[in-house]
Chains A and B, each alone.
Chain A
Amino acid sequence: MKHLLATDGLDAETATAVLDTADELKHTLLGREVKKLPTLRGRTVITLFYENSTRTRVSFEIAGKWMSADVVNVSASSSSVNKGESLRDTALTLAAAGADCVIVRHPASGAAHRLSGWLAEAGTSVVNAGDGTHEHPTQALLDAATLRERLGSLKDRRIAIVGDVVHSRVARSNIHLLHTLGAEVVLVAPPTLLPVGVEKLPVTVSHDLDAELPAVDAVMMLRVQAERMYGGFFPSAREYSISYGLSERRQALLPDHAVVLHPGPMLRGMEIAHAVADSPASAVTEQVRNGVHVRMAVLYHLLASEGAAA
């Protein structure tokens, strides 16, 4: 693996290898007081964030540090994108400074792909930490790690992804990865929040959350951004909550073993009831914890195991 740009096209073997490595790392570090492996000593990892996301950046930063990489955080305001300060120039600067890996978060779909092209000559690896409304592959991998832990294999498991699918890079990455790993995906959302051409994706579509819940093994709630609420995508937060929120009543429809996921930050009360978010079914804190191990595994496969993992 040279880059991690998307889960679209990521094969099952590579994805499973990353998840297995994450498992191993988790067990290796379990109960250790000093969480430090020497694996990436001397390697330089740069996080380049054009959008604020403390949770994702910190997760990558910790992952790098636990593997003894030198981690440098660069944040650039997304407004500079439109002010002629070019991503390309920034990329070339980072390459010249000796970055082994650039972890990029950017408001433009495809930015990570472009970056990997500009960095090709320098041999720098690129990890997509979220590009526009395209993909967020490490989020999907950490979701898969969490589901594997709770459910065992993902094969033939049925996962509902609920909410703002059209604007969600998390949803896109999950749709592809879950499908690749053998799960069935059902998207539950109002028609305004589903992408055009959704029928071409390996999913089924529903507008009725109550009807889907009894037959799923996991529910993945998506974040609804505030601007969607006033952009006419749905009439009101109240109606959204009534139709697509995961209430306690709805949680009761789920099978006992079912897992509830949310990429955070959660809109408690609207997307998900307070009690549901904190219930034993909820794996929200495990998602965060697994995020670090999965990102360690990704960095390992990109930087430490040259030739070992495909």
Chain B
Amino acid sequence: MTLVIKGARPYGEGEPVDVLVEDGVITSIGSVKVPEGAEVLDAAGQVLLPGFVDLHTHLREPGREDTETIDSGSAAAALGGYTAVFAMANTDPVADNALVTDHVWRRGQEVGLVDVHPVGAVTVGLNGAKLAELGTMAKGTAGVRVFSDDGVCVADPLLMRRALEYSTALDAVIAQHAEEPRLTVGAQAHEGEQASRLGYPGWPASAEESIVARDCLLALHANARLHVCHVSTAGTVDVLRWAKDRGTKVSAEVTPHHLLLTDDRLDTYDPVNKVNPPLRTGRDAEKLRAALAEGVVDCVATDHAPHAPQDKDTEWNAARPGMLGLQTALSVVVETMVKTGLLDWRGVARVLSERPAEIGNLPDHGRRIAVGEPANLALVDPDAEWTVRGAELASIAANTPYEGMRLPGVVTATVLRGRITAREGKIR
């Protein structure tokens, strides 16, 4: 299978070049004569990036196939420029054993639009009481390298210590949903002026920061790898900086919505804005952007969380937290990081592809655009804009907070191992 990408600018730098892809590998960059029978992607004016990698996706299969399936989620991912996603373990049944993780991995391969890497649960049933069989999942077909109880925090410090220690033998990372549960009982929104005014029980920033601080100390002690999911507060950034300076093997992700949206949006009481951790203040968002630019926060992860209408079009308390993210992530990063001058396209490649691939231990993703490298790629039209319509997204669910919003940056094509998976907004 041969593909020629004509006239794109890798990382948005230099003169336009042609990229020749043969059998899934980049074999030539420069001026390429199109071989007979080759597929051609006309990419004039477009930016060529390594395909994106999402460390934090909820694909809902098994269990909630009415909101997302590995099929529909893979399509959303491909359309969003992704070539690999990590599917969170909080499915039903929970991905706390190799039967489930191998099933998810295999379904991902069958669909074939993105590499679906299952995240294994840290504890059995996400109950926070007993370690799941991490080794069996790591040694299974799926080769699980990321473990997380995401949705809930591994709150017991001793269990977290053991998980971190145990993971070092598996070359794995423990991804923590940092939320001290005692401090967030009944919490509905960021604890602050806005929640107080609207009468929402508050989710204090310190509930996240205290767990991140604790876990960083435990990870340093165990010489283990810790990944902090969806960092949402300015204070967490300070903790991460401090921990990294001390040599802690800690990485962190921020979601697109925490970069762009704030708790100002809660006035409508519309649960489309309900997410966990909650939307924070403008000051938090600003500091998260700066931290991402600087590398204190390593990467962007979507926390793509599809929900059915009956779980969202409700009163606030009854609504499930979460919002779609796969097809809007690039645009939100362009809006918050590129247009503001905080990141260039090389930076975008770092936060959407290279760092998440490193953290998730994926040798074939997040690679440089160079001869001999696997052709997992995303093409972006930097000047185009689009209007978000939840109903038109590939996910089964439609819960996007960006409904009707005009956003910059359009993913025009995605290439997985030399094969076009999405082009011009359509799945191939």
Q: Mark A residues whose CB is within 8 Å of B.
A: 8, 81-82, 84, 86-88, 106-111, 113-114, 131-135, 166, 169, 172, 195-198, 200-201
Contacts and interface: CB of A to CB of B under 8 A. Distances in A.
A159 B151 CA distance: 44
Nearest to A166: B196
Given A110-B316, A114-B269, A132-B200, 16 more contacts: A81-B318, A87-B314, A106-B315, A109-B198, A109-B199, A110-B269, A110-B315, A114-B316, A133-B199, A195-B196, A196-B192, A197-B193, A197-B194, A197-B197, A200-B193, A201-B196
B201 interface: yes
Interface in B158-215: 188, 191-202, 204
Contacts of A166: 196
For the complex of A and B, list the 4 residue pairs with the smallest distance between their C-beta atoms, beginning with the closest. Answer: A134-B199, A197-B193, A110-B269, A195-B196
Given A8-B197, A113-B269, A108 B192 contact: no
B150 to A, nearest CB: 22
12 contacts: A81-B318, A106-B315, A109-B188, A109-B316, A110-B198, A131-B199, A132-B200, A133-B199, A134-B199, A166-B196, A195-B196, A196-B192
A133 B201 contact: yes
A87 B315 contact: yes
B196 A197 contact: yes
A109 B314 CA distance: 12
A258 B222 CA distance: 64
A132 B268 contact: no
B28 interface: no
Contacts of B318: 81-82, 86-87, 108
Contacts of B270: 114
A287 B269 CA distance: 31
Contacts of A113: 268-269
A113 B316 CA distance: 10
Contacts, number: 75
A146 B188 CA distance: 34
Contact of B199 (A84, A87, A132, A198): A132
Contacts of A132: 199-200, 317
Contacts of B199: 109-110, 131-135, 169, 172
B313 interface: yes
B317 A107 contact: yes
A108 B310 contact: no
Contact of A86 (B191, B310, B317): B310
B200 A109 contact: yes
B314 A114 contact: yes
Nearest to B268: A113
B193 A111 contact: no
B317 A196 contact: no
Given A135-B199, A196-B192, A81 B310 contact: no
A196 B191 contact: yes
Contacts of B316: 108-111, 114
A36 B316 CA distance: 39
Contacts of A201: 196-197
A195 B204 CA distance: 12
A227 to B, nearest CB: 11
B317 A108 contact: yes
Contact of B315 (A84, A108, A133, A172): A108
A201 B199 CA distance: 13
Given A108-B315, A109-B188, A111-B315, A196 B195 contact: yes
A110 B317 CA distance: 9
B315 A198 contact: no
A220 B193 CA distance: 23
Nearest to B195: A196
Centre residue among B199, B200, B317 by max chain A CB count within 10 A: B199
B201 to A, nearest CB: 7
Contacts of B269: 109-110, 113-114
A111 B199 CA distance: 11
Nearest to A111: B315
Centre residue among A110, A114, A134 by max chain B CB count within 10 A: A110
Nearest to B201: A133
Contacts of B310: 84, 86
A128 to B, nearest CB: 11
B257 to A, nearest CB: 20
A175 to B, nearest CB: 10
A111 B316 CA distance: 7
A10 B168 CA distance: 59
B314 A86 contact: yes
Contacts of B196: 166, 195-198, 201
A8 B193 CA distance: 14
Centre residue among A108, A131, A135 by max chain B CB count within 10 A: A108
A170 B4 CA distance: 68
Interface in B227-282: 268-270
Nearest to A165: B196
A109 B317 contact: yes
A196 B202 contact: yes
A200 B200 CA distance: 16
A219 to B, nearest CB: 22
A135 B198 CA distance: 8
B319 to A, nearest CB: 9
A134 B314 CA distance: 17
A88 B314 contact: yes
